[in-house]
Amino acid sequence: MYNLNNDNMVLVIDHPLITHKLTQIRKKDTGTNEFRQIVNEIGGLMVYEITRDLELEDVDIETPVAPMKTKQLAGEKLVVCPILRAGLGMVDGILQMMPSARVGHIGLYRDEETLKPVEYFAKFPNKLEGRLVIIVDPMLATGGSAIAAIDLVKKRGVKNIKFVCLVAAPEGVTALRIAHPDVPVYIAALDEKLNNKGYIVPGLGDCGDRIFGTK
């Protein structure tokens, strides 16, 4: 039986800055402009943990004072893949920390009746195999969208995938871990539950609508 409390592939990044910023966007009166800015900021802050295990290689350089042996990032450029629409809200913040990352796009929306994900777009950089692909979506509710997005990326031969979200429901994390046990999950806050409409409680509402001002 899967036990979320005993899973070292799920990291809740409960840093005080992240918790504070999340509180701001959880408030129902926070407007679109501030909401959008803070989603990006949290995305950027999460990068430090998400990239903690990136590989480094030795390099010889010269500082203005002396030659030195130091290290730089090794391997292929990594790929950030937002799940549209809401995932787009985190991309700029992440790219500020990793400007040379490539970007893929995964278009999925959740059918309001069935809560099942519906795919409408997928575009990835060439030569995806061999790269680290970081899939980002602020909300992990039932887990259907995250599972479908990871399926899409795995079909293209990718072995090294991470999933990043701001707010998750335990139901979604459990479903995702069972479907893709090889994919580490990074979360800013693990909330209480889903309501009967599939919304995260207490959550922050409809993240896509709040980022893009569509409601």
CA–CA distance, 215 with 201 (Å, rounded to integer): 19
In this structure, the number of other CB atoms found within 10 A of the CB of residue 7 comes to 15
Site string for ligand PRP, 58-77 (x = CB under 6 A): --------------------
Q: Tokens 């990352």 correspond to what residue?
A: 101
CA–CA distance, 80 with 97 (Å, rounded to integer): 12
Q: Is 86 in the site for ligand PRP (CB under 6 A)?
A: yes
Q: Tokens 């995964």 correspond to what residue?
A: 106
Of 144 and 184, CB closest to ligand PRP = 144
Structure tokens at 110: 């959740």
Q: Which of 36, 102, 110, 210 is catalytic?
A: 110
Q: Is 145 in the site for ligand PRP (CB under 6 A)?
A: yes
CA distances from 204 to 21, 40, 69, 144 (A): 12, 15, 47, 19
Which does residue 40 touch among ligand URA, ligand PRP, none (CB within 5 to 8 A, set by kind)? Answer: none
Residues 154-173 that bind ligand PRP (CB under 6 A): 172
Alpha helices in 80-169 (DSSP H): 88-97, 144-155
Tell me the sheet residues that pair with 187: 12, 165
Site string for ligand URA, 141-180 (x = CB under 6 A): x---------------------------------------
CA–CA distance, 23 with 49 (Å, rounded to integer): 20
* Helix or strand (DSSP H, E) at 78: none
Find the binder of ligand PRP among 39, 50, 137, 173 (CB under 6 A). Answer: 137
Q: Which stretch binds ligand URA (CB under 6 A): 28-36, 52-60, 150-158, 197-205?
A: 197-205
Give catalytic status of residue 29 as yes or no.
no
CA–CA distance, 52 with 19 (Å, rounded to integer): 20
Find the binder of ligand URA among 93, 117, 144, 203 (CB under 6 A). Answer: 203
Of 184 and 203, CB closest to ligand PRP = 203
Which does residue 22 touch among ligand PRP, ligand URA, none (CB within 5 to 8 A, set by kind)? Answer: none
Structure tokens at 201: 């409680």
**Residues in touch with ligand PRP (CB under 6 A):** 83-86, 108-110, 115, 117, 137-146, 172, 198, 206-208
Contact residues toward ligand URA (CB under 6 A) are 86, 139, 141, 199-200, 203, 206-208
